[in-house]
């Protein structure tokens, strides 16, 4: 999972350095999807283990 964060940040830095909007958009997309998948898996794991610490966060949205 952490490899996706490293790749996304690397792409973001590459895009900023080369002033390439396409690379920046790609990095943002990879980063967004990685964050969503990471949070979703954490929430589902906690629900399966019987913990409800994410209930307030989910209800807040």
Q: Model's pTM, two decimal places? A: 0.69
Residue 56 is predicted with a pLDDT of: 63
**Positive or negative: CA dihedral 48, 54, 58, 59:** positive
Listed in sequence order, the residues at least 6 apart from 12 whose beta carbon sits closer than 8 Å to its beta carbon are 24, 27, 28, 31
d(Cα 13, Cα 7) in Å, to the nearest integer?
10
Query: Which of the residues in the chain have pLDDT under 50?
Result: none
Residue 61 is predicted with a pLDDT of: 53
């Amino acid at each position: 999972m952490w490899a996706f964060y490293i790749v996304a940040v690397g792409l973001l830095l590459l895009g900023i350095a080369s002033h390439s909007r396409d690379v920046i958009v790609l990095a943002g997309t990879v980063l967004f999807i990685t964050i969503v998948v990471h949070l979703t898996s954490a929430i589902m794991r906690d629900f399966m283990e019987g913990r409800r610490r994410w209930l307030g966060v989910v209800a807040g949205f």
